[in-house]
Structure 1
Amino acid sequence: MEDAAIKVENLFASYRKNTVLSDVNLAVESGSLTGIVGPNGAGKSTLLKSMLNLHPSLTGSVAFFGHPFKKMKKKIGYVPQRGSVDWDFPTDALDVVTMGLYGHIGWLRRPSRFHKEKAYEALEKMGMKDYAKRQISQLSGGQQQRVFLARALIQDAELYFMDEPLAGVDAATEHAIMTTLKELKTLGKTVMVVHHDLQTVAEYFDHVLLLNQTVIEHGPTNQTFTKDNISRTYGGNMRWMREEDHDVVPSVKQ
C-alpha cells in the first residue's frame, strides 16, 4: 500500500528473552478505524509500544506517512492502558489534558489562557468539563479514560493509538469514546485501538487486525473478521454462541 498511514516491516520484539512479536508486517490505510484483537499475550500492547518507541524492537522498521516516529511524534496521539498510569500523581483533570499541548508549546513555557480554553473544550467534548479541577485520583475509571482521551484529542493529531480504551468503563463512557473515535475517522484521522470484546468488533471498526504474536489477518472488517480467521487467531480458546438461527457470535473462554 503506497499511501499507507502506517507501515510496519519485519518487526520483532521480546520481553526478557521471550519473543512477543515475530515478523510483523502491516500496512494501515489512511483514514481507517482499526481494531486490534487477539488472545492474552498476543502482543497487542507491545505492538503499539514498539511502533511508538516505548518498547525496544529487536529488528524491523516502522514508518508513519513514510517518516520515522521521531519526525512524526507531534502528529501522533496515544492513550495508554489505565493500569499503566500512576493515578495518584497530584494533578487535576485540566492539567492532564493541557499536557497534551506541551509538544506544541514546549515543556518550559507556561500554558496560556488560550491553551487552557482549548483544554476546557476537549474536556467538554468528553462530558468532563465539570470535573476540570478534580484530582484524577478522585475520578472513576470511566472518567479517567475520558480525560486521557481528551488529552489525546487536544493534540489534533493525524494518528491515534489507543490501548484498550473501553476496558472496564461503563456503557455511557463506551458510547462516548466510540462516538469520538468514529468522528476522528470521519475527519480523515487514522485510529488504531487495542480491543478485547469480539462481539462489538463488526459494529465499531471498519478494519480489523487479528494478531497472535504475528499478523494472522488484516483488512476490512466485513472481509477479515470471519469465523475461520478468528479461530486461527484464538485456537482452542474459542467458543461460538448462536444469537439467532443464522448468526454466530464469537466469545473467548476465560
Structure 2
Amino acid sequence: MNIKKAYSETTRLLGYFKVISDPYIWDNTSRWSWELEVKNLCPEYSESWVAFDNTTASIVASYDHVHPVTNVGGRTLGTLQYGWDRIQLSDDLISLSQTVATLKSTLDAEGIDMLKHLKQLSQKFSDVSTRASAYHIERLLKPYSTKEREIFKAIEELSSKRKGALIVIQREDLLEERLNIGTPMFAEISSSLLDSIFNVNSPLHDGAVLIRNDIIVSAANILPLTKRTFKKRKVGTRHRAAIGLSEITDALIFVVSEETGKESFSFNGSIYPFKIVED
C-alpha cells in the first residue's frame, strides 16, 4: 500500500486482508499477470469494524514484518493494481538509468563506439515511450470503457489502411455542449462499424465519432480547434481538433493520420504518438 502522511492519521480502510502467499507472475506477456492469495479479515471484526482503529497509520504501526509497507514502483505490491505495463515500465526506466550512467562513466575511455551505444539508447527510449503510452492510455480509458479491444482493433486497422480517423471517448465531462453534433447513431461499439464510418466514401468520415459508456453516440461531430500555433511541425486539422477538445474537457481523443497512418492520442491539451501493443 502507498501511505501518504497527510492522510494516514484519518484515512480509514474499507477492507482488511492478510496476504498469505507471495505474489507471482503467471504470464509474462499479460498486462494483468499478478496473482496472490489473501484472507479477508473483515468478518472477524463483524459489527465492531466501525470501532476498530483501522486508520492506515495504526495498521502500519502494528504490522510487524520484514517489509511492512511496499512503495509503488518496481516489483512490489503497490504495482498490482496497475498491471504488467506499469511493472515492465518501471524495469525499463531502471535499465535506461543504468545504461545512461554506464555511458557517462566511459566518456573518456578509448575504443568506445559512442555513436553505436547512443543509437541503441535511442531505440530503448523509443521502446519505453511506446510502453509508457500504452500504460497511460489504458489507465485513462479502462474506467470508461469495456470495449477497449474493439477500439484498439479499429485504430490498428484504420492505421494500416491510412484512413483518417478521430475518436472521442467521453470521461467525466459532458461533451455535447462543446461539439457541433453530427449524426446520431446510438450503436454498440465494434471495430467493423468504426472502420466503415471512417471509410472515405462514407458521408460520416470527415468528423469525429463520440463514444460514451461503450456506445457510439454520434458521428461526423465537429470539434473545436486549438488556437495554439506550432512553428516547428505541421499539425493537421484532425490533430488540432483533438488538442482543442482536450484543452477544455477531460476527454480522451484518438487520432489516425490520413497522410501517414500514424496513431496518436490527445489528453489535457497535449498530443502523443503511440502504437498498439499486443497483450
TM-score normalised by structure 2 residue count:
0.24
Choose between structure 1 and 2 for higher RCO, CA contacts under 8 A separated by at least 6 residues. Answer: 1
Larger radius of gyration, structure 1 or 2? 2
